[in-house]
Amino acid sequence: MKKKIGLDTEEQQILQDFERGEFKRVSNFQKEKKELETAARNTFLKDRRINIRISSRDLEKIQKRAAREGIPYQTFISGSLHKLVSGRLKEVV
């Protein structure tokens, strides 16, 4: 007996599109995959170092939030800055 897999709305839409034949095979898949992997790797390449001064209170709050999310605080800061500059983090007034 096959076990039925539960799909969310987006996954159901992808399955329906696939079954209707709306997906097209990528010509030269390996080349395309390699280019996308390189682009992804370069997008998050951390090639610069900065030093900043920050209040002890703010740093402690950042470290606590990072701990709640289960990531190192420097990764949390870097990710937050990336979200801010890419427009995915909005200022709340």
If phi > 0 it is left, if psi is from -120 to 50 it is alpha, else beta; for residue 28 that is left
Q: What is the pLDDT of residue 63?
A: 96
Mean pLDDT of all residues in 28-35:
90
Which of these, 92, 68, 90, lies nearest to 80 by C-alpha position? 90
DSSP letter (8 states) at residue 4: P
Q: What is the pLDDT of residues 3-26, one digit of tens each?
A: 667 888 999 999 999 999 998 888
Q: Judge whether residue 55 has pLDDT over 80.
A: yes
Angle between helices 73-85 and 56-69 (to 10 degrees): 90
Domain spans of the chain, in order of start: 53-93
Q: Residues 6 or more apart from 79 whose CB is under 8 A from it?
A: 71
Are the C-beta atoms of 79 and 73 separated by less than 8 Å?
no
Q: What are φ and ψ of residue 45, in 5° steps?
A: -65, 125
Are the C-beta atoms of 69 and 63 separated by less than 8 Å?
no
Mean pLDDT of all residues in 76-80:
90
Q: What is the pLDDT of residue 61?
A: 97
Q: Judge whether residue 66 has pLDDT over 80.
A: yes
